[in-house]
Amino acid sequence: MGRLSGKVAIITGAASGMGKEIARLFAEEGAKVVATDVQEEVLQVTVKNIAATYGDSIIGLKLDVTSESDWKAVVEDTVSKYGNINALVNNAGYTSGVQLEDTTIDVYTRTMNINALGNLLGILAVLPSMKENGQGSIVNISSIGGIVGGQGGATYSMSKGASRLLTKDAAVELAKYNIRVNSIHPGAIATEMTVAYLEANPEIAKGATLTMPLGRFGDPIDIAYTALFLASDESKYQTGSEVIVDGGVTCK
């Protein structure tokens, strides 16, 4: 039996990268997966590929995580099709790469809206269903940028720090409903976008790995397995935790 058998999970930013791997692994482990993304065409290709192996265990829905109406529609469609919601993985994220001195209000607003407001709207949207169920697990994909500086620019760190503290506050407030909230803090992960960039800039790749005690970038599956643990009943006594998956970078 799969580790998520009988559970229904919404995953944001699931068209590619870490979100795609989380969606695939959750389907493999028995969940009914609602994969969402603002990139609708790419999302449907991802869903089709996963469904080729796992059948009707996954569907894809368009979602702009900064839109309350989009969240309302996704939750309504999920409950209508599957009856409830057991897990939410707030994975959708954005980084401009803009450093502090070049930051603009537009960069700040977009980054905070996707990385922080998007997490909050997701939690509020699934809350009624999880309260009715008497349980739930919410996983926010933050970043080591929410813990230490120098990891993607000031606004990125601000947004991921907000996600980190939202996680802890929500964990305290929602514990009375048996809803757990935890965060994952990835370091450098070799997503499709990252790999393409590093292949074009091998010296940057070499320099980056020298800062990592394990000496390599992580894989999307490393984050997916962590999300799987937190979404499953295996972590039923774990809430408000921040799980760092960074190859040892923040140890130093």
Tokens of residue 210, six digits: 């020298």
- Please confirm, yes or no, whether 225 is among the known catalytic residues: no
Active-site residue, from 156, 197, 225, 237:
156
CB 69 within 8 A of CB 46: no
Q: Report the alpha-carbon distance of residue 113 to residue 121 in Å, rounded.
A: 10
Residues annotated catalytic, as ranges? 156
